[in-house]
Amino acid sequence: MEIGWISRKISSCLHCFSSASLPIIGITEVSLQLSPVKYANWSVYDMSSTVSSSRGVMPLASFDRGGTENSGAPRSSAMPDQDLNDSEDAGLLSVSWNQDYGCFAAGTTTGFRIYNCDPFKETFRRDLKSGGFKIVEMLFRCNILALVGGAANSQYPPNKVLIWDDHQSRCIGEFSFRSEVRGVKLRRDRIVVVLEHKIYVYNFMDLKLLHQIETLSNPRGLCCLSHHANTSVLACPGLRRGQVQVEHFGLHMTKFISAHDNNIACLILTMDGMLLATASTKGTLIRIFNTLDGTRLQEVRRGVDRAEISSISLSPNAQWLVVASDKGTIHIFRLRVRVGGVDSSAPHISQSLGLQYQNSSNCLDPLFSLNTGANPGSSLSFMRGVLPKYFSSEWSFSQFHLPEVTQFVAAFGSQNSVMIIGMDGSFYRCSFDPVNGGPMVRQEYVRFLKTDNNLR
């Protein structure tokens, strides 16, 4: 009875989304609690009592991609080199982009906040007395979020995932696990929960378990999804060191890719799931693979010294790749291989890729073509095969230098720009020259939260 109620409730919350049903293939050990009608007063789940009303809190669905309110919430524009912090005692636990990189969520020691990227501004926040959230996962710009409490959160422990409807200001579903949740990923038809040794994939509409995936120890919670309706792809660490497992759910196909000699540190898919970029814990090389057959398409070099890669991101047209590490430099690389030789973010490309793969698994060459331009290389690269591999490496096309005092994540914005978020509460917007490369130019800097360190 409760399951039927929550199924209808989620369907009404996500009425604008379509989903493809997949068969249930197993029953999880997870305890799934669904919100019954008797919690009408929401004394247990109510977060709205501590909402900062001075900011004119609005549901996520009321903001478009440009950050324009559809009703009378107060505006707060952020010009370059602004300080948006309210001098509140809130530490930063995590930052995460939404699926189109138009905004990001910040999990804090007192709750969470949502920021629009262009123009940069805080759209709203939720503050709790019981503690904060270490994971805040958005679903594009709709009203549904997935939340996981921080270690100090007395009400929401780190082994539970809350499905939060901000439009109704209440929890509409809860997953309880026997171990700590390492990551959560959302797409319009799926909820993916990452534990250290297992990944669970649920149907969004009825929260039923669809898939269970065993992985190598995955304390970082590494997992990524495609986000096109025509493709359903998941990538995660495999069962061996340096291996990536790629699940093409729509094609009923699993591909294991031996990506690196060391453990996987970071991975990302293109929006259609056709390309995969990976880095290892050594942090010197980033590799790009075709997810259909596992072929390595390109290899670029961040540097020579070991580094901790904190993020990898691909541009929407799969033409550029940006890498952030603890060395304090953001690197941009030009991709030589593009899906179909055109914008791989176009839905019809994803559909044609799937159809062509089904028709002929041996004819993948037409799906990938060489892109014009190249990254800088060694002057001795003409002697490849004679000199060590280092001398034939592709180096970054453009760079931006940051303080080596905190962790950063980076993603592409509009008009040849890169957005960078620091765990010190900083936001940068930089532009790069797509023809000549070289140093990036800082266009905007905002201090959105004052914090001394990463509290994760």
DSSP, residue by residue, 138-151: E-TTSSEEEEEE-T
**Residue listed under structure tokens 């690197």:** 331
Nearest one of 375, 381, 185, 206 to 299, comparing CA atoms:
375
Write out pLDDT tens, residues 236-277.
Answer: 999 999 999 999 999 999 999 999 999 999 999 999 999 999
In the structure, what pLDDT confidence band is assigned to residue 6 with cuts at 50, 70 and 90? very low
Encoded amino acid at 178, one letter: R
* H helix intervals, 252-392: 347-359
Cβ atoms of 210 and 203 within 8 Å: the answer is: yes
When pLDDT is averaged across residues 397-414 and rounded to a whole number, the result is 92
Q: 3-class SS at 13? A: helix
Q: 3-class SS at 3? A: helix
Write out pLDDT tens, residues 143-155.
Answer: 899 999 987 777 8
| pLDDT for the residue 129 | 81
Residue 359, pLDDT above cutoff 70: no
Element holding 120 (H helix, E strand): strand 120-127
When pLDDT is averaged across residues 400-412 and rounded to a whole number, the result is 91
- The span from the CA of 270 to the CA of 251, in Å, is 17
When pLDDT is averaged across residues 376-380 and rounded to a whole number, the result is 49
Nearest one of 392, 67, 407, 108 to 265, comparing CA atoms:
407
Tokens of 392: 């034939």
Going by C-beta distance under 8 Å and a sequence separation of 6 or more, which residues neighbour residue 435? none
C-alpha radius of gyration, the chain, whole number: 22
Write out pLDDT tens, residues 92-123.
Answer: 999 999 999 999 999 999 999 999 999 999 99
In the structure, what pLDDT confidence band is assigned to residue 58 with cuts at 50, 70 and 90? very low
In the structure, what pLDDT confidence band is assigned to residue 85 with cuts at 50, 70 and 90? low
When pLDDT is averaged across residues 210-222 and rounded to a whole number, the result is 96
Cβ atoms of 314 and 270 within 8 Å: the answer is: yes
Q: In this structure, what DSSP letter does residue 433 have?
A: -
Distance of alpha carbon 177 from the chain centroid: 22
Q: For the whole model, what pTM was predicted?
A: 0.75
Higher pLDDT, 32 or 450: 450
